[in-house]
Amino acid sequence: MRLPLALVPLLLLCSSAAHADYSGHPKAAPLLERLRETHGFSARDLDMVRGALAQAQRLPQLVEMEQKAPERTETWTRYSARIDESRITGGLALLRDYQPFLDRAEEEFGVPPAVIAAIMGIETRYGRITGNIRVLDALATQGFEHPTRSVFFSSELEQFFVFCRDFRKDPTSIRGSYAGAMGAAQFMPSNYLRLSLDYDGSGGRDLWTLPDAIGSIGLYFNRYRPSQAWRRGEPLVIPARLLAPLPPGTEVNGKATAYNAGALLRAGWLAVDVELPPDTPVGIIQLPLDDGRYEYWLALHNFYTVMTYNPRTFYAMAVTQLAQRIQQRLAAEAP
């Protein structure tokens, strides 16, 4: 019997998992001390952490998965296949089924419903696929063993234990992505603690529920990095045409605006069909296609706000274009 392709990575993870007992790892003692001093963990709380670390599974392949994420390895042609019909129709269904929550999020935070839907569509297919790797294993493996990002993952492991204490969760039972992100919104533990909302009035913040995920995404885009807060009513990108080869050293696919529109367009490298105020901050997006050509866009402030969610150009462009297609379909189907 042939296994469904979607099950293969999960089975490989399970087959290569190894019991680690990270409670004896050299980095465990400093972690416990931070939890005690910074977060006020009691002796009982610390016993819970030790017990969880003792049960952690070592999954070294997660490091390779993080280093070889599709945003790093695929062309835009291949990556953009994620903007498929099921994600468009799923986004339309989300807009209809959760309209009151999406309208409220737009009113409070300025983020259009289609953008919030697109985040959830790319991240978890609207809450259907939230990850099946134990967050404990993902964060312990990468926090203790990642060759370049152990500081980040160690910090998230610390925040994960705070989350489990504050939300009364069993750290050995929570599942998420290979990076340790959780729920329909795929928040890392630090963001869950700081930026999640009880949007449905249930009395708890549960990002596995879509209303809470919707509100929390809106809040995230306003509070995660205040200097990059969402700007109400502004677009994300503008299509551009290449008129001349970009000079060596031209910044493309950066993480923030690098030029102003007037100087960039006067240089004669690119052309756009939308008039921009000359002082508009922009960045240049260059997307590699399978045939060796490139697709060009000018990115505006809100595009880089999306990049705070995942600092990859392909990811932000996929969210942008999925949001556009959801909105276009909604307009086309309106009576």
DSSP 187-213: B-HHHHHHH----S-SSS--TTSHHHH
Structure confidence at residue 73 (pLDDT): 78
Structure confidence at residue 72 (pLDDT): 74
Query: Can you give the pTM of this predicted structure?
Result: 0.91
Does some domain include residue 10? no
Q: Which of 37, 66, 106, 123 is catalytic?
A: 123
In the Cβ-directed half-sphere of 110, how many Cα atoms lie within 13 Å?
A: 13
Q: Supply the range of the domain harboring residue 47.
A: 15-58+131-181
Radius of gyration of the chain (CA): 21
Is the sign of the CA dihedral 288, 290, 291, 292 positive or negative?
positive
How far CA 218 is from CA of 108, 180, 293, 301, in Å, comes to: 8, 21, 35, 16
- Looking at the structure, do residues 145 and 43 belong to the same domain, yes or no? yes
Does some domain include residue 282? yes
Among 310, 323, 321, which Cα is nearest to 69's? 310
Burial code (b: 16+ CB inside 10 Å, e: under 16) for 80-114 equals bebbeeebbebbbebbeebeebbebbbeebbbbbb
Strand partners, 286: 296
Provide the number of structural domains found in the chain.
2
Does some domain include residue 107? no
* Local confidence pLDDT in tens for the 335 residues of the chain: 333 434 444 444 544 556 778 999 999 999 999 999 999 999 999 999 999 999 999 998 988 887 777 777 789 999 999 999 999 999 999 999 999 999 999 999 999 999 999 999 999 999 999 999 999 999 999 999 999 999 999 999 999 999 999 999 999 999 999 999 999 999 999 999 999 999 999 999 999 999 999 999 999 999 999 999 999 999 999 999 999 999 999 999 999 999 999 999 999 999 999 999 999 999 999 999 999 999 999 999 999 999 999 999 999 999 999 999 999 999 998 77
Among 114, 99, 73, which Cα is nearest to 306's? 114
Structure confidence at residue 313 (pLDDT): 96
- Looking at the structure, do residues 42 and 168 belong to the same domain, yes or no? yes
Does some domain include residue 19? yes
Q: Could you give the CA distance from residue 20 to residue 137 in angstroms, rounded to a whole number?
A: 9
Residue 273 one-letter amino acid: D
Active site residue 145: no
Q: List the Cα angle 105/195/280 in 5-degree steps.
A: 65
Contacts of 206 (CB under 8 A, 6+ apart): 183, 198, 212
Query: Residue 9 corresponds to which tokens in the numbers above?
Result: 């990575």
- Looking at the structure, do residues 33 and 173 belong to the same domain, yes or no? yes
Structure confidence at residue 64 (pLDDT): 84
- Looking at the structure, do residues 248 and 137 belong to the same domain, yes or no? no
- Looking at the structure, do residues 171 and 288 belong to the same domain, yes or no? no
- Answer for the pair 174, 134: CB distance below 8 angstroms, yes or no: yes
